[in-house]
Amino acid sequence: MSQFHTQGPVPLESPAYVERAFEQGVLGELLNQQWVLLLGPHKHGKTTGITRIKNHLQEEGFEVITLDLQTLPPCNSYVELLTWIGTHTARGLGIKDINTPIGDTAKDLVGWLEAIVPPNDTPLVIIIDEAAKIPNDEFRNAFYGQIRGISTARGDADANSILRRLRFLFAGTFRPESLVHPDNSPFNVCKRIDTEDLSLEQARELVVKVLGHEEVLADEGIDQQIVTAYNLVGGQPYLLQELFAQTLKADILDREAVFARTVDYIKYHDMHISSLLSRVITDQAVSRIGARLATEGELPMLPGDSDYKHICVLGLAKREGPRLKFRNELYAQIAQSSAQLRPGEAIPDPGALIVALPNEAFDFMKNPQLKEFAISAQRGAVKAFNTGSYRLSLVGFGSSLEALLIDWLTSIPPTELQAAKVKTQGLNFTRYENANDANTWTLVNLMKVSRQVQTPLRAVNPPDPLRDFRNMVHPGKAIKTGLNEEQLKPEAIASSGFFNMVLRDVEAAVTP
């Protein structure tokens, strides 16, 4: 019963595995000498599938190495990045001593591969997992540009050239069209394959494999539980395993209650949901589609539109013919009750979920200390909310907002800041504030001046209630409102939405 697998890739020997169609697709393409781009949501079986694909290829006689870019350390130069790639490639091939390339060759991926890979005829498959995890734009473009160059050059390369032996599998959860400059993206020459959900039959197969005998399906209670779980989370493999792991071991009389408790846990405490929602929320275009989806239930697909595709890659939605729908009922419920996804809208579910934004959402901030402050304050606000401490949650969002505005206003040219100040009405600095140093300003002044800064797209307009809510940290002010902790929940929900709006607009203002 405990063999359902919910942590990391499913090991080769584990029974908690059913073969997925995407694995056959990827394998077929690689065997057919094609390059593959494998996209799919987190915890959707990519790495589990890759492990099996790698195993099969090795059995067929291929050399295969996996480069997991999630483990890539910060690199100060492109050569450093290639050195890491080269070292890990050599390690994957079991080579201890390599002739480190120098000069131009050290800046060239092919140069590294020629220095490392033994000269024979065996095809080498390089699996680049978490392919988006090269944070530096310049290095990322150079790296993938050089891989694209391999694709162009391999047709005319000498018979014994390394270029003709290479096949790539890129995997991850990212936007292929914007991860790399579209003109030199290797993804354009890849066969794109998207991971798919499990079918109900596969869900049953999974349970039979883990429980060890087919008779379990004759147990109406178990089959009913499989169907109930499937109706809620669809074929999302991680969620299915999580639900099966918790409910199928429970006594038949307790299963319903255990199931409900597990769903609650997944909704409010499982990192899977917060990770998914935060990724949706921090991508403006996708977030907009998600919000519409939450309101309308389903949408027509827009042809050739990367945003519609990306919301499927992230996992929130899926395509059914020309329609875009939520991937499963659980995601629909969560999206519909997310104040962050639908700021300003009346949320029907009072049990709304708030998720912490990923660190990358704050990447545009200039000052590392302020960035760290903004991240931790926002994270704290979310944690407080999810444990029922709504007042502290309001404080957290307010503090994070303050750090965000200070960072922005201190980074714009002094002339622009001066112009904004001039336009600001009712700007009053206390004796503790330095009019020329936004670091010292109160939140009210930061918000007022922010609204007057000239921005290329739309103005940054921090809503006043955010400041009012934050002030509820003061007992005197809180008492005046007559609202107790529980009654502040709507304000906390609204704060999370407002905060996301400001974060979005400041990012738009500072990003060229």
Report the residue number, 166 or 472, with the smaller CB distance to other proteins.
Answer: 166
Q: Of 20, 165, 318, 371, which lies in the binding site for other proteins, with binding defined by CB under 8 A?
A: 165
Coil, helix or strand for 490? Answer: helix
Distance CA(27)–CA(33), nearest Å, equals: 10
Query: Whose CA is closest to 492, among 357, 361, 291, 340?
Result: 340
19 to 58, contacts with other proteins by CB under 8 A?
A: 24, 27-28, 31-35, 56
Return the amino acid letter for 262: T
The torsion angles phi and psi of 325, rounded to 5 degrees, stand at -135, 160
| 102 binds other proteins, rule: CB under 8 A | no
Report the residue number, 5 or 54, with the smaller CB distance to other proteins.
Answer: 54
Distance CA(465)–CA(169), nearest Å, equals: 49
| 300 binds other proteins, rule: CB under 8 A | yes
Shortest CB 237 distance to other proteins, Å: 22
Report the residue number, 60 or 215, with the smaller CB distance to other proteins.
Answer: 60
| 390 binds other proteins, rule: CB under 8 A | no
Long-range CB contact pairs, 157-161, < 8 A, 24+: 160/119, 160/121
Report the residue number, 167 or 255, with the smaller CB distance to other proteins.
Answer: 167
Return the amino acid letter for 162: I
Size of the site for other proteins (CB under 8 A): 48
Other beta carbons within 10 angstroms of residue 253's beta carbon come to 8
Q: Of 94, 119, 155, 426, which lies in the binding site for other proteins, with binding defined by CB under 8 A?
A: 155
Shortest CB 293 distance to other proteins, Å: 13
Distance CA(508)–CA(455), nearest Å, equals: 8
Shortest CB 48 distance to other proteins, Å: 18
Report the residue number, 157 or 444, with the smaller CB distance to other proteins.
Answer: 157
Q: To which residue do tokens 């000052």 refer?
A: 367
Whether residue 232 contacts residue 329, with contact meaning beta carbons closer than 8 Å, is answered with: yes
Which stretch, 151-159, 221-229, 330-338, 427-435, contacts other proteins (CB under 8 A)? 151-159
| 190 binds other proteins, rule: CB under 8 A | yes
Which stretch, 177-185, 216-224, 382-390, 421-429, contacts other proteins (CB under 8 A)? 177-185
112 to 141, contacts with other proteins by CB under 8 A?
A: 121-123, 138, 141
310 to 369, contacts with other proteins by CB under 8 A?
A: 321-322
| 206 binds other proteins, rule: CB under 8 A | no
Q: To which residue do tokens 């921005």 refer?
A: 455
Q: Would strands 298-300 and 190-194 be described as parallel, antiparallel, or unpaired?
A: unpaired
Please write down the HEC assignment for all residues of 223-241: HHHHHHHHHHHCCCHHHHH
| 62 binds other proteins, rule: CB under 8 A | yes
Please write down the HEC assignment for all residues of 132-173: CCCCCHHHHHHHHHHHHHHHHHHCCCCCCCHHHHEEEEEEEC
Other beta carbons within 10 angstroms of residue 133's beta carbon come to 15
Q: Which helix (H) or strand (E) holds 420?
A: helix 414-423
| 146 binds other proteins, rule: CB under 8 A | yes
| 91 binds other proteins, rule: CB under 8 A | no
| 512 binds other proteins, rule: CB under 8 A | no
Q: Of 2, 8, 61, 475, which lies in the binding site for other proteins, with binding defined by CB under 8 A?
A: 61
For the record, the structure tokens of 114 come out as 């020629």
Which stretch, 181-189, 272-280, 475-483, 485-493, contacts other proteins (CB under 8 A)? 181-189
Coil, helix or strand for 269? Answer: helix
Residues that bind other proteins (CB under 8 A): 24, 27-28, 31-35, 56, 60-62, 104, 107-108, 121-123, 138, 141-142, 145-146, 148-149, 151-153, 155-156, 164-165, 181-184, 188-191, 300-305, 321-322
